[in-house]
Amino acid sequence: MDIRFISSLTADDENAFAPALLKAVATILDQFPIAYTVRIETTGAQVFQQTHHSFESPIASLPRVDTAKARVGSVV
Return the domain boundaries, the chain. 11-52
Q: Is 6 exposed, middle or buried (0-12, 13-18, 19+ CB in 10 A)?
A: exposed
The mean pLDDT of 36-51, rounded to a whole number, is: 91
Residue 37 pLDDT level (bands cut at 50, 70, 90): very high
Residue 23: pLDDT over 90: yes
What letter does residue 10 receive in the DSSP assignment?
A: -
Cα 64 to Cα 66: distance, rounded to the nearest angstrom: 6
The model's pTM is: 0.63
* Straight-line distance from the first to the last Cα atom of the chain, in angstroms, rounded to the nearest whole number: 45
Give the pLDDT of residue 4. Answer: 85
Residue 75: pLDDT over 60: no
